[in-house]
Amino acid sequence: MKKYYGKFGGQFVPNEVKIALDEVEKAFLKLKNDKEFKQELQYLLKTYVGRPTPLYHAKNLSKHYKHEIYLKREDLTHTGAHKINNALAQALIAKKMNKKKIIAETGAGQHGLATATAAALLGLECEIFMGATDVQRQALNVYKMELLGAKVNAITKGRKTLSDAVDEALNFWVKNTKDVFYVVGSAVGPYPYPQIVTHFQSIIGKECKVQLKKINQKVDYIVAATGGGSNAAGIFHAFLKDKKVKLIGVEAAGLGKDTPYHAATLTKGKIGIIHGMQTKVLQNDQGEISHTFSISAGLDYPGIGPLHAYLQESKRANYYAINDDECINALKLLCKKEGIIPAIESSHALAYLDKLCPSLKKKSTIVVNLSGRGDKDMQSVYEYKKGQIYG
Ligand SMILES: *Cc1c(COP(=O)(O)O)cnc(C)c1O
């Protein structure tokens, strides 16, 4: 399997990590075509995760935007977001490799939750690395992970957020590779992780393609939010060769385009190395990695999966940034029009409809990947503009 997407990706890691990655690569290449593994995963995706998720024709929103809008309902999966597709698949690989324990990094807690869920289901030990600041901010998710039997390790180094948690998880992994598998949560990190995550999330696009065909509907645009880029990679993948389908990734611009704290890696970043991969990175003129902050903790990552850096460079996909105000307006619009409360992350993708739809000359069909449900975000939405969340 190729280690790079164009010039993006690769394995920028010390030798001990490379040895661990080689073992993961070998297991993945063997299992991804293994009949028994595929059947077992498919069975769990159907009976436990709730796949296939519906492709929903949002008629009220369509009327509002004067174009046909469809939503791919990843919000209806068990645990409420697409992350479970990948966490469960990697946990199953760990089990087949006879590992006793899985570990994961988490920022907002959603990947930690998905990993703890998969560990409980498959009878694996689980330890989640989470920055101490995030542990405080996400107390409810921490409690959920503990209920599910996971140990949550609060990292007090550095800025005590996601990047520090990744470093600590890697350190722990290299020292314990015999018993431990590292479940990476987005289409990021050194090879083979971006490829593994994309492979397991690509079920979203595959289903979507079949569902569109069933209703005899051609699609013009596919829109997805990008943090590290896993749900976008997942829905884009089946359509990459179909050049008529335009692919749009939407990043978080935080408070707005003039603030330094945004997560708009592709629209503002430069080529650099972060967490073992070469990709686009938000950095200052000295090449130091920037700290991100948007209302959406799930999109707060200063890097981006290498596939997206490549799709942007090759112009196969386009990436835009949406600010917090635009995101919250889109969230509220979907609630009112369709009775669906979307995740803040997914609301960035929805917000792009406001820009896209008025610019289209002919009536178009647009699929938005509704990556997750908004229950986890109600406090942030409630407090938004009360001056509390940026305090
Ligand atoms: C984590 C998360 C994202 C962002 O992660 P990607 O890897 O870019 O998909 C988007 N939406 C939801 C609901 C999430 O939980």
pLDDT tens per residue, range 66-78: 999 999 999 999 9
362 C-alpha to ligand 1 centroid (Å): 31
Confidence category of residue 138, pLDDT binned at 50, 70, 90: confident
Cβ-proximal residues to 54 (8 Å cutoff; 6+ apart), any chain: 73, 76, 211
CA of 361 to the centre of ligand 1 (A): 31
101 is catalytic: no
Answering whether pTM is above 0.85, one says: yes
The whole-chain average pLDDT of the chain stands at: 93
107 lines ligand 1 (CB under 6 A): no
Residue 127 known to be catalytic: no
Q: Which of 72, 83, 95, 99 is catalytic?
A: 83
Write out pLDDT tens, residues 321-380: 999 999 999 999 999 999 999 999 999 999 999 999 999 999 999 999 999 999 999 988
The predicted-structure confidence for 166-200, as pLDDT tens digits, reads as follows 889 999 999 999 999 999 999 999 999 999 999 99
Number of the ligand 1 atom closest to the C-alpha atom of 226: 8
Percent of the chain with pLDDT over 90: 81
When mean pLDDT is compared across 146-150, 215-219, 242-246, 272-276, the lowest value belongs to 272-276
Band of pLDDT at residue 260, cut at 50, 70 and 90? very low
265 lines ligand 1 (CB under 6 A): no
Give the model's pLDDT for residue 263.
62
* Annotation says 288 is catalytic: no
